[in-house]
DNA sequence: CGACATCTTGAGAGACCTCAATGATGGTGG
DNA sequence: CCACCATCATTGAGGTCTCTCAAGATGTCG
């Protein structure tokens, strides 16, 4: 990992997520608080389970994921992190919060570093900023519970359809994609571990979705071929 | 539902959860803010999916759960609510937040009503109170992700073991139980829907745990017969 | 004592898994 | 430029956990 620059004035990410109000008003405030950036290469571990980070990071570019690891090699991916996400929200409010998961880079990533105190002040600066932050937390919570419902109740086809649609929607909301084809650096194994499936089954399910002309995942890109039908497939309720 | 009294001075719940700091300092503050209480009978719906409650409720007594309902009758329980829990945290910070789940009473329950504004002020009153609230949110998040890991990766025996241990631990933390036998008003169907199983399978799994001398659930009570072995059973990782 | 909810149990089926082998693909070094 | 390697995708055969559907047992309550 190494420090480099990446200015805050041109950053469009902050405008749509946690410190959006402050960032929109005076990007300089954020720029002044940022303690620099850090980069990791694809597949590197960013934080280990048990770490109690004292710096709070936001994801500036690239993808990562949070997961728990089992001794026998199985793992459960808890969420994927894309630009605008916080790596460790807990550290803002809770000192010495030891995380129960680990964070790993999916692609090369760049993180922005902040002191928890500073972010706390930014968030508390206005009611607008507070509710913007609350909105972010709420959404993360919602996504976790969506996955729980998927894994608990839905078939493999629906789980995959929904995961792809969800990620596509989030990317769009952050201004990182604009159509039915977008960057999608998950391996089949990552999809499997996020949805409680095996790679073999994900592969067969993906084949099925491709044959049905709904979805194609190839070369690090996802192509939604028939959004309407994919949504119906995802909503088998 | 009907309004009745239940005083805040003698309430031990608030001391261990969201407004704990304020409550411990001056229980009168909370008492002054409370807009009264509401009761529901067992199995009554407290909030419907799509509702955007303008009042924030905390659970004073009894059990409830949050769940999503499918058209074909399936459902996924997202979390169980026990005294001290918030019914709708989202409403504190986000106006007009339409919930995507419904809330139903498991036993007879009594709720305390608050105006979102008031709770917001209480929480913002001090850093201690803020981090206490953050801690609560964090824990709810953690529990949701624990369930996701369970449903995604663990066998039925482990899922059930962990659910019971988790609920027991939370009850203990709130001073609502003190040993290995505690109130447990979940039907087998509730367990099934919380863990992505069917009642038939929950029944057989419960039988197995009973025969192994680890756990007994009967007449609305859970009895942990061998905590050590039950924990091992739950940690099949 | 019915009426109802809940628990229990059985037989058969399906979704998904395990294990293993075979193809692609892309990067690396000689 | 090709051989080589690691990573990832693909495919097959067989197994199992869990499900579906159904019936019966048990318990609860008015």
Q: For the ranges A32-36, B14-18, B56-60, B139-143, which has the lowest average pLDDT?
A: B14-18
Q: What is the pLDDT of residues A111-127, one digit of tens each?
A: 999 999 999 999 999 98
Average pLDDT rounded to a whole number, residues B156-173: 96
CA A82, CA A208: separation in Å to the nearest integer? 27
Q: Over the range B60-98, which residues count as b (16 or more CB within 10 Å of their CB) and which as e?
A: bbbbbbbbbbeeeebbbbbbbbbbbbbbbbbbbbbeebe
> Does this model's pTM top 0.85?
yes
What is the predicted pLDDT for the residue at B3?
A: 41
Least CA distance to B100: which residue of chain A?
A: A142
Which nucleotides of chain D have an atom under 7 angstroms from any protein CB? Answer: 8-13, 17-22, 28
Element (H, E) at B195: helix B188-195
Candidates B65, B26, B24; CA nearest to B44 is B65
Secondary structure in 3-state letters for A92-126: HHCCCCCCCCEEEECCCEEEEEECHHHHHHHHHCC
Which nucleotides of chain C have an atom under 7 angstroms from any protein CB? Answer: 6-11, 15-20, 26
Least CA distance to A195: which residue of chain B?
A: B152
Residue B192 (CA) to nucleotide C9 (C1'), in angstroms, measures 17
What is the predicted pLDDT for the residue at B12?
A: 84
Strand D reaches within 7 A of the A160 CB: no
What is the predicted pLDDT for the residue at B60?
A: 94
What is the predicted pLDDT for the residue at B21?
A: 87
**What confidence category does residue B9 fall into, taking pLDDT thresholds of 50, 70 and 90?**
confident
What is the predicted pLDDT for the residue at B196?
A: 98
Chain B within 8 Å of A111 (Cβ-Cβ)? no
Instruction: Verify whether the Cβ–Cβ distance A142 to B237 is below 8 Å.
Output: no
Chain B within 8 Å of A126 (Cβ-Cβ)? no
Is pLDDT at B149 greater than 60 in this prediction? yes
Residue A146 (CA) to nucleotide C4 (C1'), in angstroms, measures 34
Chain B within 8 Å of A218 (Cβ-Cβ)? no
Instruction: Verify whether the Cβ–Cβ distance B153 to A237 is below 8 Å.
Output: no
Q: What is the pLDDT of residues A202-226, one digit of tens each?
A: 999 999 999 999 999 988 999 999 9
Element (H, E) at B39: strand B37-40
CA B136, CA B224: separation in Å to the nearest integer? 26
What is the predicted pLDDT for the residue at B151?
A: 98
* Cα angle, residue A82 at apex, residues A74 and A220 outer, rounded to 5°: 70
CA A232, CA A225: separation in Å to the nearest integer? 13
Q: What is the largest CA-CA distance in chain A?
A: 52
What is the predicted pLDDT for the residue at B1?
A: 41
Q: Which of B74, B92, B152 sits opposite A151 (nearest CB)?
A: B152
Strand D reaches within 7 A of the A206 CB: yes
Identify nearest nucleotide to residue B42 by CA to C1′ distance: C5
Strand D reaches within 7 A of the B196 CB: yes
Q: For the ranges A9-13, B109-113, B129-133, which has the lowest average pLDDT?
A: A9-13
What is the predicted pLDDT for the residue at A5?
A: 61
Q: What is the pLDDT of residues B203-234, one digit of tens each?
A: 999 999 999 999 999 879 999 999 999 999 99
Is pLDDT at B2 greater than 60 in this prediction? no
Structure token digits, residue B82:
């026990």
Residue B149 (CA) to nucleotide C16 (C1'), in angstroms, measures 17
Cβ burial, residue A9 (10 Å; 0-12/13-18/19+) = exposed
CB contacts, 8 Å: B134 with chain A = 90, 92-94
Q: Which of B140, B149, B151 sits opposite A68 (nearest CB)?
A: B149
Beta strands in B133-218 (DSSP E): 181-183, 215-218
What is the predicted pLDDT for the residue at A3?
A: 40
Element (H, E) at A181: strand A181-183
What is the predicted pLDDT for the residue at B5?
A: 62
What is the predicted pLDDT for the residue at B237?
A: 64
What is the predicted pLDDT for the residue at B96?
A: 80
> Cβ neighbours of residue A161 under 8 Å, at least 6 residues apart?
A209, A214, A215, A230, A231, A233, A234
Distance from CA of A3 to the nearest CA of B (A): 30
Candidates A89, A93, A3, A82; CA nearest to A40 is A3
Q: What is the pLDDT of residues B77-104, one digit of tens each?
A: 999 999 999 999 999 988 888 899 999 9
Strand D reaches within 7 A of the A189 CB: yes
Between chain A and chain B, the number of residue pairs with CB atoms below 8 A apart is 89
Contact at 8 Å (CB) between B16 and B175?
yes
Residue A72 (CA) to nucleotide C13 (C1'), in angstroms, measures 30
Identify nearest nucleotide to residue A190 by CA to C1′ distance: D8
Angle, helices B188-195 vs B199-211, to 10°: value is 110
Candidates B177, B157, B175; CA nearest to B235 is B157
Chain A within 8 Å of B76 (Cβ-Cβ)? yes
Is pLDDT at B153 greater than 60 in this prediction? yes
What is the predicted pLDDT for the residue at A2?
A: 40
Query: Which residues in chain A land under pLDDT 50?
Result: 1-4
Q: For the ranges A53-57, B10-14, B129-133, B166-170, which has the lowest average pLDDT?
A: B10-14
Instruction: Verify whether the Cβ–Cβ distance A237 to B72 is below 8 Å.
Output: yes
> Cβ neighbours of residue B85 under 8 Å, at least 6 residues apart?
B17, B58, B59
Residue B201 (CA) to nucleotide C9 (C1'), in angstroms, measures 11
Strand C reaches within 7 A of the A156 CB: yes
| Test mutation, B148, B189, B201, chain A, max A CBs within 10 A | B148
What is the predicted pLDDT for the residue at A237?
A: 64
Average pLDDT rounded to a whole number, residues B156-161: 97
B111 CA to centre of own chain:
13
């Amino acid at each position: 990992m190494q420090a480099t620059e990446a200015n805050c004035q041109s950053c469009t990410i902050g405008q749509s997520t946690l410190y959006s109000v402050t960032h929109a008003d005076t990007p300089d405030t954020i720029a002044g608080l940022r303690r620099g950036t850090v980069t990791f290469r694809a597949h590197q571990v960013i934080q280990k389970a048990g770490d109690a980070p004292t710096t709070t990071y936001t994801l500036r570019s690239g993808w990562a994921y949070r997961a728990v690891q089992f001794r026998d090699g199985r793992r459960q991916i808890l969420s994927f992190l894309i630009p605008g996400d916080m790596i460790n929200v807990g550290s803002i409010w809770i000192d010495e919060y030891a995380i129960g998961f680990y964070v790993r880079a999916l692609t090369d990533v760049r993180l922005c570093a902040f002191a928890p105190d500073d972010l706390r002040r930014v968030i508390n600066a206005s009611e607008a900023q507070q509710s913007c932050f609350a909105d972010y937390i709420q959404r993360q919570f919602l996504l976790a519970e969506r996955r729980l419902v998927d894994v608990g109740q839905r078939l493999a086809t629906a789980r995959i359809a929904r995961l792809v649609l969800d990620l596509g929607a989030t990317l769009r909301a952050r201004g990182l994609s604009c159509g039915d084809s977008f960057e999608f650096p998950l391996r089949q194994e990552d999809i499997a571990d996020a949805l409680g499936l095996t790679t073999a089954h994900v592969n067969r399910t993906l084949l099925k979705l491709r044959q049905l002309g709904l979805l194609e995942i190839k070369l690090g890109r996802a192509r939604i071929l028939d959004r309407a039908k994919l949504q119906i497939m995802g909503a088998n309720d």
